[in-house]
Amino acid sequence: MIPSADNNRIFELRIYHALPGKLPALESRFRDTTLKLLAKHNLKIVGYWVPEGTPDWDNTFIFLMAHSSREEAKKNWDAMRGDPEFQEVMKSEQVDKLVEKLDVTYMRPVDFSPTK
């Protein structure tokens, strides 16, 4: 099935590269705080993953989000970044740094993708 022309749904792949030994703390931060903030700001999570059996990917935390459009993604992220509770999370990240690097990729489904 080919998506209609007005189907602007996109996916956002976020790969967090945690500092050595900090992956459990990063997972806890998402579980205990970030998860609620993402939901509060209409940022829809498809799933969370950690790689298994790939030593080069140790300390990696991955999640996938779905957005109705790129514009909606920007609007929701801007709202979250402006949230005082999220700003507190970012301040704590500066004190107890968990993440070395973050990779973000926006993706659109191809016409033959079972997920649209």
pTM above 0.85, yes or no: yes
Domain boundaries, the chain: 17-48+67-107
Measured CA to CA in angstroms, residue 93 lies from 1, 53, 100 at distances of 44, 28, 11
> Among 95, 39, 106, which Cα is nearest to 71's?
106
Q: Tens-digit pLDDT profile for the chain (116 aa)? A: 333 434 779 999 999 999 999 999 999 999 999 999 999 999 999 999 999 988 888 999 999 999 999 999 999 999 999 999 999 999 988 888 999 999 999 999 998 988 87
Largest CA distance in the chain: 49
Element (H or E) spanning 30, and its range?
A: none
> Among 105, 107, 106, 99, which Cα is nearest to 16's?
99
Q: What are the strands, taking DSSP E only, across the chain?
A: 10-18, 44-49, 60-67, 99-107
